[in-house]
């Protein structure tokens, strides 16, 4: 197993069909003790219980620095360390550029970008004391393409910001043996996309992807596992595309 005796914290991980939960299950299968962080209405404790005994589910709002700090303090108090952070929490909105309101902008940027910063800030001191750690940030192919299929331009901007933030953290934290990397998923079949695309539209999109299909949550989970494990021990500041070739097409 690749993550024996590791503690992995994953934000936005309670949704049973989401990237975070798929990642949590896979990391647990590889020996990690997993901490599911999510909003109260997502019931993170129940999600952790579905993964198995010994895992932890905590309520945390990544847009609130005090909430981030409290969650990590609870993790350290119970488990003693944090080895892996997956900054997965994010929201999207289908908006045209002229229709993005100030509240739209704040909502999307706060979760995806501010949330990535604040949860990273919460775990970094513990990782520095350990002199080890892996931080994985979930961006999006829309950050690279200048727009996606479901998210508006402010979503692309937020996810592009995640790429820049992760690289800056990688540069700053390398001396502490903390690795920081990004994953840029393409269109993945999760609850975020459920019901928003017809089967005909999905088929049209799949025809434009070199691998000929939409992604599954397990595809992203596997990439997270790689970046969390020692298999990627000399990788930091990278952007790992998990989009079936959508970016090159």
Q: Which residues are catalytic?
A: 155
Q: Are 154 and 101 in contact (CB under 8 A)?
A: no
Q: What is the DSSP letter of 215?
A: B
Tell me the C-alpha distance between 72 and 58, whole Å: 9
Tell me the C-alpha distance between 18 and 15, whole Å: 5
**HSE-up (13 A, CA, CB side) for residue 108:** 21
Task: Compute how many other C-beta atoms are within 10 angstroms of the C-beta atom of residue 72.
Answer: 24
Q: Are 216 and 188 in contact (CB under 8 A)?
A: yes
Q: Are 19 and 88 in contact (CB under 8 A)?
A: yes
Q: Give the closest residue to 122 by CA, choosing from 157, 155, 87, 91.
A: 87
Torsion sign (Cα): 50, 227, 156, 244:
negative
């Amino acid at each position: 197993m690749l993550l024996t005796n590791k503690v992995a914290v994953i934000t936005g991980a309670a949704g049973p069909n989401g990237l975070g939960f798929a990642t949590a299950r896979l990391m647990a299968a590889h020996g990690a003790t997993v901490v599911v962080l999510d909003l109260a209405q997502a019931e993170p404790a129940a999600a952790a219980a579905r993964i198995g005994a010994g895992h932890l589910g905590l309520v945390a709002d990544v847009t609130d620095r005090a909430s981030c700090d409290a969650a990590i303090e609870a993790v350290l108090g119970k488990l003693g360390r944090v080895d892996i952070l997956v900054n997965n929490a994010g929201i999207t909105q289908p908006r045209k550029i002229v229709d993005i309101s100030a509240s739209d902008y704040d909502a999307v940027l706060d979760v995806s970008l501010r949330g990535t910063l604040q949860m990273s800030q919460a775990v970094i001191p513990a990782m520095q004391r350990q002199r080890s750690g892996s931080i994985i940030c979930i961006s999006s192919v829309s950050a690279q393409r200048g727009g996606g299929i479901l998210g508006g331009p402010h979503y692309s901007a937020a996810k592009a910001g995640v790429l820049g933030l992760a690289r800056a953290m990688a540069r700053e934290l390398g001396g502490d043996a903390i690795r920081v990397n990004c994953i840029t998923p393409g269109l993945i079949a999760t609850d975020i996309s459920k019901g928003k695309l017809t089967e005909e539209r999905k088929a049209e999109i799949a025809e434009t992807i070199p691998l000929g299909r939409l992604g599954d949550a397990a595809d992203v989970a596997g990439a997270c596992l790689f970046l969390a494990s020692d298999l990627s021990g000399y990788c930091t500041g990278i952007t790992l595309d998990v989009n079936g070739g959508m970016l090159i097409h």
